[in-house]
Structure 1
Amino acid sequence: MTTTDVTRVATYREVTDRNGRVYRVGETDVDIMGRKRKWMVILPWVGMMGISSAEYAFASAEDTLHEAHQWSSSSIYWMMTAWVFCQAAVAFPAGRLRENGKLPARWAMMLGAVGTLLGYLSLAFAPHVALAFLGFGVFSGMGAGMVYATCVNMVGKWYPERKGGKTGFVNGGFAYGSVPFVFIFHGYMDGSNFRWVLVSCGLFLAAVVAVAGSFFRDPPKNWWPDTIDPLNPPDDPRARRSLEKNPPAVKQYSPLEAWKTGRVALMWFCLACTSGVNIFGIAFQVDIGEDAGFAAGIVATAMSLKAIVNGTGRGVIGWLSDLYGRKQCLLYVCLILGLAQFGIIWSAEIKNLPLFLIFSAISGFGGGAIFPMFAALTADYFGENNNATNYGMVYSSKLVSGLGAGMGSMVVAAWGFNGAFGLAGGISLFAGVVALFLQPPGRTKSKKVTPNPRPLGEG
């Protein structure tokens, strides 16, 4: 990979399709940034792995933090809720700043790296839980939100013709990048070594985010790959099938225009429900396993398996959505996620470890697969030019779903694990029903087209 920022001078032209959408064609990825666009998949994937441990491995550190700082378990779960809240809250304003050029992608990644480091330092040295809330919950959460929004939207801009699999792959780094840290925090870190473990992890992960982000660059507005004809079916069978199943947006919607279509509100609600179930599972997977009598090491393995499948599932579902359609895959994901919660209840009740591991993995798949579906759907429905802002609106639903950890602890206390996981399953199934009403704006349903009773040539 070349590290130069010197770009080639290339001519381009703008073409318009029958819907009035403009495509900028003629420039290659190498002309624009001096390297192949595949690096805008690899580097965002690395950046996403750098922030993943803060959410997915945090539950594994709960016992050690409680022992070392004497923080209550409730405070620690609410700290995770604060992290998720701030991660989601920053998505829309960061996207707005990104789209108007005030926050370049590289600077967003650098700020994310600083937030990541501050989060780990606060967990290691905060003398009071309030400072940990500020350092980890606020600064680390906001930093992770900047990294997440930048990475997910970057890949969609560079692969507008086949974004599902690529978005899913990048999104997957947010889950399975945490796997080593699940074992470190749950099996190795204790009250005697937690400070240097947390500081070492913070320095390493902040460096990963900063180095990956230093190579980021956005394509020009309306850019389209020079190898793909935007006005005719492409020769590449993968791109052709993806565009058939997931046609590009009819135009580049501004955030206000996207909101007025009503689709943003539907997507917001569905993501709030399903991501809340995912966060609840992350927070209480360890607890329900230990309550069932499974060994701590086995429970950590289950959590790691959940994270692995959560991450790989994002890439798999993204690839499948290119083949079979984004909405269809989203409906199956909601069904799988909901049923998996009841499977976890059943396997824990009968104390069957293999089934517990299987349903944990299935839950991880469903919980992870929802995110690339909504990220890709947002670009499919509203275009790529304002995708950082538009997806920021949709992703802000985690402001509500982040309560899956804090409120989840209250539901578990009141209803027990069976009641809480049963409620989570029902919420996911209901989200699937709501998702049935999602349709791309500006397109007429084929069933609503009325045939012309007097075609041309007949008097």
Structure 2
Amino acid sequence: MKTTKNRWFIALSAIAIHLSIGAAYAYSVYTNPIRDTMGWSTTEITLAFTIMMALAGIAAAFFGSFVERNGPRKSAMLAALLFGLGQAGSGVAIAVDSQLLFLLTYGVASGLGMGLGYISPVSTLVKWFPDRRGLATGMAVMGFGAGALITAPIAASLMQSIGITTTFYILGISYFLVMIAGASYIAPPPEEWMPDEMKKNIASGKTVVKKDLSQLTAKEAVRTRRFWMLWTMMLINTTAGIMMISVASPMAQEVVGLSAAAAATMVGIMGIFNGGGRLGWAALSDYIGRPAIFLLFFVLQIIAFLTLPVTTNVLLFQALILVVVSCYGGGFSNLPAFIGDLFGTKQLGAIHGFLLTTWSLGGILGPLLVSQIRERTESYIPVFYVFTALIIFAFFVSIFLRLDIKKSEKVKQQKQTEGIA
């Protein structure tokens, strides 16, 4: 079957969707203007963001089977509607001075749209890039990480010139249009599709196709130990990353005496490493494999968390924080490709959704752990040792997963050899 779709345009469409929903991470730029204009407390304003982030991970799991049944286009269009309405509706909530409506629009509607929009294009991208799974998903997820970097200055400028309400209207409509444009081009490739170059390389013997370990449905996948090992690795990697993101500025100021201005600069650079890590680590995984990438994540983070409490060097302290943040971003970008390697692409979207429950849980556990430890000990130093223990545990889980994969590959190879004989 001939296809008129260009896989790089499919990738751009996915990036457009992820850039839009990733803009929600720029939420902090709205906090002070809303508080000063409406008189709402910071806690009340932040609650909308908390609801949105919690719902995003839950929605990803809930909508996984919906994406598989209805396809990426319809799913992404519904995501555009939910997210666009949530953002524009926030302007209505501000206009009528309704905190409840703000929670329902920015919190609930945007959270549902974010979760659905996150998983909608990913399984399709994996199918379009059988030769570069890591790079493909890395591009999309990098877009998610970069959304806030683009939106934050635009939103801040708009609020100063035209006010908060109109800013939400303009941005909500813009997100909707960009997401609809991306959704309108997305479509899965024909069955067993491969790029021409990959076909030539296979025919010449230059490339050997590595078959997926299995082809499982979502229900079958969650019954395997490999699923829960990957889930555990993602939960710990995500919890460590979100913990670091949530307290990086005050932690650096307290532990190594970084100035407030320098800490703010570091936070901005963290956004670059979060987005860059998503693309860089995912692209590297196409060459060294997803199991090796996760092993590397945990080795680097063990070194980082053991060094952070004993270093007094400001630059080294910041560099180690950036390493942890890049591993956090890289975990998300490698996840879809890893799912394809382990469980196939039959129901990748649904399996991806289930594994993204670690996103919501990590978003709760990371800030909770660091705040409780800091409050009880009056120091950030014990935080590093607690997370060292967690990362060491994840490291061993990743070793067991790698051994399990090798064992399964050996059994599969033996069966194929016996079948030929």
Q: TM-score range by the shorter chain?
A: 0.7 to 0.9
Q: 1:432 aligns to what?
A: 395
1:285 to 2:248 alignment? yes
Deviation (angstroms), 1:229: 4.9
The equivalent of 2:16 in structure 1 is: 46
1:416 CA drift (Å): 4.8
Shift, 1:403, TM fit? 0.6
Partner in structure 2 of residue 253 of structure 1: 216
201-210 vs 386-395, which deviates more? 201-210
Instruction: State the distance in 2 between where 1:428 and 1:435 align.
Output: 10
| Structure 1 position 398, deviation (Å) | 2.1
Alignment of 1:319-398 (within 5 A): 319-340=283-304, 350=312, 352=314, 354-398=315-359
Note the alpha carbon deviations across 1:314-372, whole angstroms, 9 max, x for none. 2111121111111011111133345445666667xx583x4454334222211101112
2:81 is aligned with 1:114: yes
Distance in 2 (CA, whole Å) between partners of 1:128 and 1:287 is 32
**Number of aligned residue pairs:** 409
**Stretch moving more, 195-204 or 108-117:** 195-204
Q: Is the 8 A contact 1:67 1:191 kept in 2?
A: no
Within a 5 Å distance, the mapping from 1:34-433 to structure 2 comes to: 34-55=4-25, 57-59=26-28, 61-100=30-69, 103-121=70-88, 123-124=90-91, 125-126=93-94, 127-183=97-153, 193-225=163-195, 227-229=197-199, 233=202, 235=204, 240=208, 243=209, 247-289=210-252, 298-340=262-304, 350=312, 352=314, 354-404=315-365, 407=368, 410-411=371-372, 412-416=374-378, 418=380, 419-420=382-383, 422-433=385-396
d(CA) in 2 for partners of 1:174 and 1:273?
Answer: 21
Aligned to 2:417: none
TM-score, normalised to structure 1, is 0.77
Q: Is the 8 A contact 1:109 1:209 kept in 2?
A: yes
Deviation sequence 1:2-42 (CA, Å, 0-9, x none): xxxxxxxx3xxxxxxxxxxxxxxxxxxxx23x132121222
CA RMSD of aligned residues (A): 3.6
Letter in 2 for 1:112: A
Hey, what's the Cα distance between the residues in 2 that align with 1:260 and 1:226? 36
Amino acid at match of 2:142: G
Deviations 1:348-399 (A, max 9, x none): xx583x4454334222211101112221110001111211112222122223
Per-residue deviation, 1:436: 1.6
Corresponding letter in the other structure for 1:113: A
Counterpart Cα distance in 2 of 1:92 and 1:39: 27
Aligned mates of 1:424, 1:83 — CA distance in 2: 26
Q: Could you report, residue by residue, the CA deviation over 1:218-270 in whole angstroms, capped at 9, with x for unpaired residues?
A: 1244444455459x956485x54xx5xxx322442112222222211111122
The range that moved more, 159-168 or 335-344, is 335-344
| Larger relative helix fraction | 2
Checking the alignment, whether the CA contact within 8 Å between 2:213 and 2:409 is kept in structure 1 is no
Contact 2:68 / 2:347 at 8 angstroms: preserved in 1?
A: yes
Q: State the Cα distance separating 1:181 from its structure 2 match.
A: 3.2
Structure 2 residue matching 1:384: 3-state secondary structure: coil
Q: Look up the equivalent residue of 1:92 and give its one-letter code.
A: A
Letter of the 1:134 counterpart: L
160-169 or 294-303: which moved more? Answer: 294-303
Question: Once structures 1 and 2 are overlaid, which stretch shifts more, 198-207 or 79-88?
Answer: 198-207
Question: How far apart in 2 are the matches of 1:319 and 1:204?
Answer: 30
Q: CA-to-partner distance for each residue in 1:136-157, whole Å, 9 max, x for gaps?
A: 2221111111111012222101
- Decide whether the 8 Å contact of 1:83 with 1:136 is kept in 2: yes
Structure 1: distance between partners of 2:369 and 2:36? 22
Are 1:305 and 1:360, in contact at CA under 8 Å, matched by a contact in 2?
no
Contact 1:81 1:406 in 2 (8 A): no
Paired with 1:433 and 1:333, the residues of 2 have a C-alpha distance of: 12
8 A contact 1:288–1:417 mirrored in 2: no
Q: 1:452 — aligned with what?
A: none
Larger deviation, residues 170-179 vs 204-213: 204-213
What percentage of residue pairs aligned between the two structures are identical?
22
Q: Which residue of 1 aligns with 2:408?
A: 443
Shift of 1:83: 1.8
- Which letter maps to 1:277? A
Find the residue that maps to 1:41 and give its secondary structure.
helix
TM-score, structure 2 as length reference: 0.83
CA 1:355/1:251 → structure 2, altered by over 3 Å: closer, same or farther? Answer: closer
Contact map agreement 1:90 1:146 (CA 8 A) in 2:
yes
1:139 and 1:428, CA in 2 relative to 1: closer, same or farther beyond 3 A?
farther
Unmatched runs of 5 consecutive residues or more in structure 1: 1-9, 11-30, 450-455
The SS at the match of 1:249 is: coil
The 8 Å contact of residues 88 and 170 in structure 2, kept in 1 or not, is answered as no
Distance (Å, rounded) in 1 between the aligned partners of 2:33 and 2:129: 43
Contact 1:182-1:303 at 8 Å conserved across structures: no
Specify whether residues 119 and 340 from structure 1 end up closer, same or farther in structure 2 by C-alpha distance, changes over 3 A only. farther
Q: Relative to 1, partners in 2 of residues 1:267 and 1:178: Cα closer, same or farther, differing over 3 Å?
A: same
Instruction: Report the alpha carbon displacement of residue 135 of structure 1 after superposing the two structures with TM.
Output: 1.7
- CA change 1:234–1:164 in 2 (3 A) is farther
Q: Aligned with 1:38: secondary structure?
A: helix
- Residue type matched to 1:387 in 2? L
Aligned partner letter, 2:236: C
Q: Write out per-residue CA displacement over residues 290-326 of structure 1, whole angstroms, 9 at most, x where no aligned residue.
A: 6677565544432221111111112111121111111
AA partner of residue 260 (structure 1): R
Deviates more, 1:333-342 or 1:213-222: 333-342
For 1:77 and 1:404, locate their aligned partners in 2 and report how far apart those are by CA, in whole Å. Answer: 17
Paired letter, 1:265: W
Give distance in 2, aligned partners of 1:430 and 1:65: 42
Deviations 1:416-450 (A, max 9, x none): 5614455445433432222222133982448x98x
